[in-house]
Structure 1
């Protein structure tokens, strides 16, 4: 096995690579990491190719002799980069894949922005057959296009593609910062869009936990997955015949209920609950198909995610660096 990984320096890539290298069934596998702005260190079984996904020669060089592709590289809300990196890069990878004499599987990490996560309403749990409804912005649009491109290469050329659609991915102390009202907040929503700037600033001093309400007034329910569970799903899908030409939702068994989170933090940390009305929608990303077909089970529930985030202690060589806002 020779696997090409894009996005190796990202949150999922940094967690996946050591887990992959340590798995006994992949002990003889080689890794090619296509890196651009950030690099990893090459190793005994890890080759680093420097270049942009938008460069045909760099992609062709990285794909030489590859048997598997794990495509995770992405751009967020960067209209100046989105066509070259997300669309052209995906096209170049797929073109090399379909013409390759060695390729066995192409895995894409997608996102629940392709189904609008909290911005679009669904009357029932979101399955792999639910319609794609991206929210506004170029990032969500690219996630839809990427899924469709893999799907069409499967139809047109018989590509053995697998798409793992993940919601908001948490690691380390991410969840703690996702709930913060302070300047250390990770991701969204922007609190000043939902309340006065003065109130947001007062809450930013700490000790408060948001209990967001959805458009119906019920507590908001949003989908998350811990990076360890996503890595486990990737390892389960790799070289798995049940993953051939399939799309899987990879999320917690249930969406995270902000009321349950608030009540847990009130009980365990004495944090004060702040109710916040929002225009958002509660959605449920149904992971039944992945659990049944891949034999995968998420291990981190919302309580586990809270405990991991609140107990995480950063070392001097582990600064909190946010490459993307969410």
Structure 2
């Protein structure tokens, strides 16, 4: 088995490769990482090829002898690049994959931006049948286009493909920084811009956390997944006959409730919270399909997500680097 991994140097890519190499079920598997701006270190089981997935020649060469593709490369809100990477890049990958004689499975990691996550009101749990609804911006649009393209190419050419749709992916101390009122905030909202500047500085210094409220005034519920749980789902999908042609929601069993977060941090760490009003909407992704077909279960619940982030201590050779804002 030779797996081509795009986006191999990112958060998910690095964790996936490490998890696969450590898993005795895949002891004979080799990795080919298609890298663009950043490179991985090569080993006896990991080879690196350099190039952009927007270049058809690079993609065709990278697919030679490949059995599986795990497609992780993406763009955030970068209009100048997003169509080349997210749309053209995926198209060239699928075009090369469908004519590669060794090809067996194509796995796409999607995102809940494809269904508008908390931007739109959802009156029932979000399932794989929930219609696509991109919120404003090129990133959400690209997530819709990726899912639809893979689905249609599977129909057109009968390839074995699946999509694992993930919400906001957490690792290390990400969740702690997602609640920061300082300049070190990870992702959005950018809390320091929602309160007066003197208050933001005080909240950042004291470790005060935001209690985000939805459009109805209730503590907002938002979906998350820890990267470790996403990786176990990816490994569960590899060569799984039940994954063929399927879309799976891969997330925590329950969404993160900002009210529960504030209460837990107050009880366990003595941290205060401050209400933040919003026009966002609570949502609840249903991961039942992944549990049923892939026999997968997430390990992380709310308390584990919080505790792991607050207990994480960075070493000097592990600086906090955020390549993308979220």
What TM-score, normalized to structure 1?
0.98
Q: Is the 8 A contact 1:211 1:262 kept in 2?
A: yes
CA distance in 2, matches of 1:190, 1:320: 18
Query: How many equivalent pairs are there?
Result: 326
Partner of 1:133: 133
Partner of 1:43: 43
Q: Could you tell me how far 1:294 is from its partner in structure 2?
A: 0.5
Q: Is the 8 A contact 2:172 2:309 kept in 1?
A: yes
Partner of 1:161: 161
Partner of 1:249: 249
Moved more, 299-308 or 17-26: 17-26
Alpha-carbon RMSD across the aligned residues, in angstroms, is: 1.0
Q: Secondary structure at the match of 2:248?
A: strand
Q: Could you tell me how far 1:192 is from its partner in structure 2?
A: 4.7
Q: Is the 8 A contact 2:109 2:163 kept in 1?
A: yes
Partner of 1:177: 177
Q: Is the 8 A contact 1:182 1:206 kept in 2?
A: no
Q: 2:187 aligned with 1:187, yes or no?
A: yes
CA distance in 2, matches of 1:230, 1:58: 28
Residues 110 and 67 of structure 1: CA distance in aligned 2, closer, same or farther (over 3 Å): same
- Report Cα offsets for 1:239-293 as digits up to 9, x if no partner: 0001000000000001000010000000001011211111110000110100111
Q: Secondary structure at the match of 2:206?
A: coil
Partner of 1:272: 272
Alignment of 1:6-85 (within 5 A): 6-85=6-85
- Report Cα offsets for 1:41-97 as digits up to 9, x if no partner: 111011110001111111011100111000000011111111211111011000001
Q: Is the 8 A contact 1:68 1:104 kept in 2?
A: yes
Alignment of 1:77-156 (within 5 A): 77-156=77-156
**Structure 1, gaps ≥5 residues long:** none
Q: Could you tell me how far 1:300 is from its partner in structure 2?
A: 0.7
Partner of 1:196: 196
Q: Secondary structure at the match of 2:127?
A: coil
CA distance in 2, matches of 1:19, 1:207: 33
Q: 2:223 aligned with 1:223, yes or no?
A: yes
Q: Is the 8 A contact 1:181 1:206 kept in 2?
A: no
Partner of 2:325: 325
Q: Could you tell me how far 1:193 is from its partner in structure 2?
A: 4.7
CA distance in 2, matches of 1:296, 1:127: 16
CA distance in 2, matches of 1:268, 1:192: 24
Q: Could you tell me how far 1:185 is from its partner in structure 2?
A: 0.8
CA distance in 2, matches of 1:193, 1:316: 30
Q: Could you tell me how far 1:210 is from its partner in structure 2?
A: 1.0
Q: 2:207 aligned with 1:213, yes or no?
A: no
CA distance in 2, matches of 1:207, 1:325: 21
Q: Is the 8 A contact 2:182 2:192 kept in 1?
A: no
- Report Cα offsets for 1:79-133 as digits up to 9, x if no partner: 1111211111011000001111111100000000001111111110000000111
Partner of 1:293: 293
Q: Is the 8 A contact 1:5 1:33 kept in 2?
A: yes
Q: Could you tell me how far 1:178 is from its partner in structure 2?
A: 0.4
CA distance in 1, matches of 2:173, 2:79: 29
**Structure 2, gaps ≥5 residues long:** none
Q: Could you tell me how far 1:152 is from its partner in structure 2?
A: 0.3
Moved more, 192-201 or 46-55: 192-201
